[in-house]
Amino acid sequence: MNTADLGLPVDVPSTALFTDQYELTMLQAALRAGTAERRSVFEVFTRRLPEGRRYGVLAGTGRVLDAVENFRFDPDVLDFLRERDIVGEETLRWLAEYRFRGDIWGYPEGEVYFPGSPVMRVEGSFAECVLLETVILSILNHDSAIAAAASRMSSAAGGRPLIEMGARRTHELAAVAASRAAYIGGFTSTSDLAAGFRYGIPTVGTSAHAFTLLHDRERDAFRAQVESMGRGTTLLVDTYDVAEAVRAAVEVAGPELGAVRIDSGDLLLVAHRVRQQLDELGATGTRIIVTSDLDEYAIASLAAAPVDAYGVGTQLVTGSGHPTCSMVYKLVARAESTDPSAPLVAVAKRSTGGKTSIGGRKWAARRPDERGETEAEVVGTGPVPAGLVDRQLLVELVKGGEVVAREPLDAARDRHIAARAALPLSATQLSRGEPVLPTEYVIDEDD
């Protein structure tokens, strides 16, 4: 079942207004100047990774494909543009017929990237490509930031499950996208039912402190939950006294109790004490889940603790201090005229302040060293060197306006796990450092 067809609040009838006004004013000016139909190439990349990060994670590609398909100027949207006098009638007539008919290439979702990596390339007329800038950047900047944080947390967790619990810490629609990105980055489940419904992500959840406080005794709350959800449920044990709660939990549920959750205190110390107590009570199979404002550093600090799973909220959905990837969408080549056979000319912004870019339609590949291990991200224009042809990173996503590369979310998740494992070992270090792979440029001056 395609849940997008059910009209969920996570979907919108059109993505056309998820854009900045100047995209439409540029379109109008280009239509009047006769340059709107010039064949153009736009690329998405970031000039730098967030400070201290060693790699980026591309997420949101699947959502971009949905957004491109739904980028339609329906009558209500056109009426809004007309009422605000944003563009004139000639432009409105052009927008009414808008469909993206070009091509999109990109790194497959879940792949890692580095400064300068052309993670997405959009090709078509200037008019049809320029309109997609804002929505593409909105999706990729948000989702990739969450996925990068999730990847670091997943690495720090060392194989222990991670639960995404950030819905209450961000916008309700952003929460669904964040859950999707976190799953790609290595999380195993979410508390957000909308994310589970929309994307098929496993969902979990049992009770909060309010449920314990509702009852006259903590033991009564535990009994009610066990009778409702079974002995395999997870009981929250830090509302009052942790030791007393653990004892009551095992007495109520028996040694078959599924798990206990700890949401406050010195998690390292409390986890050790709870594990010892559970074992002494015969609940040797009862798992310990910890929550409470965790980030990758806190997770790493609990590596030696008897913790079985982590729940992460605020730090995850805010990118663990880096809520955006600073990706940009730049015109890198355009035709000399509107003639379909006109050659492409490389173009690039030249300015001070670190905002320069490299013109030309790019390819990207990973070069191995003599041991077969990746040693560099190579980005170039013109012909691809023979030794890198089979190691290219960009894949075709949209051809002639038709999506050709949809895939299950688990494919992106598995790809990320494999891509991260293929990086040098220093990629998983949490200490500040430079990108784990250097970016090298091979620029064809004739391109």
Q: Concatenated DSSP letters for 164-192?
A: E--GGGS-HHHHHHHHHHHHHHT--EES-
Helix (H, G, I), strand (E, B) or coil at 84: coil
Q: Say if CB 244 and CB 217 are below 8 A apart.
A: no
Which domains, and CATH codes, for the chain? Answer: 3-131+326-442 (3.20.140.10), 147-321 (3.20.20.70)
**DSSP conformation class of 396:** E
> Exposure pattern of 356-368 as b/e (b: 16+ CB <10 Å)?
ebbbbbbbbbbee
- pLDDT for residue 45 is more than 90: yes
- Looking at residues 365-392, what average pLDDT do you find? 94
- pLDDT for residue 214 is more than 80: yes
> Does an H or E element contain 345, and which?
strand 344-346
pTM, two decimals, is: 0.94
- pLDDT for residue 12 is more than 60: no
CB atoms within 10 A of CB 243: 12
- pLDDT for residue 353 is more than 80: no
Q: Strands across the sheet with 374-381, in order?
A: 362-368, 374-381, 439-442
Residue identified by tokens 């280009």 is 30
- Extract the runs of DSSP E, i.e. beta strands, from 233-308: 234-236, 259-262, 287-290
444 confidence band (pLDDT: 50, 70, 90): confident
- Looking at residues 363-390, what average pLDDT do you find? 94
350 confidence band (pLDDT: 50, 70, 90): confident
8 confidence band (pLDDT: 50, 70, 90): very low
- Looking at residues 251-268, what average pLDDT do you find? 97
- pLDDT for residue 357 is more than 80: yes
> What's the confidence (pLDDT) of residue 9?
46
**pLDDT, tens digit, 9 for 90 and up, residues 76-88:** 999 999 999 999 9
**pLDDT, tens digit, 9 for 90 and up, residues 276-319:** 999 999 999 999 999 999 999 999 999 999 999 999 999 999 99
> Exposure pattern of 150-176 as b/e (b: 16+ CB <10 Å)?
bbbbbbbbeebbbbbbbbeebeeebbb
- Looking at residues 369-376, what average pLDDT do you find? 89
> What's the confidence (pLDDT) of residue 7?
46
> What's the confidence (pLDDT) of residue 447?
62
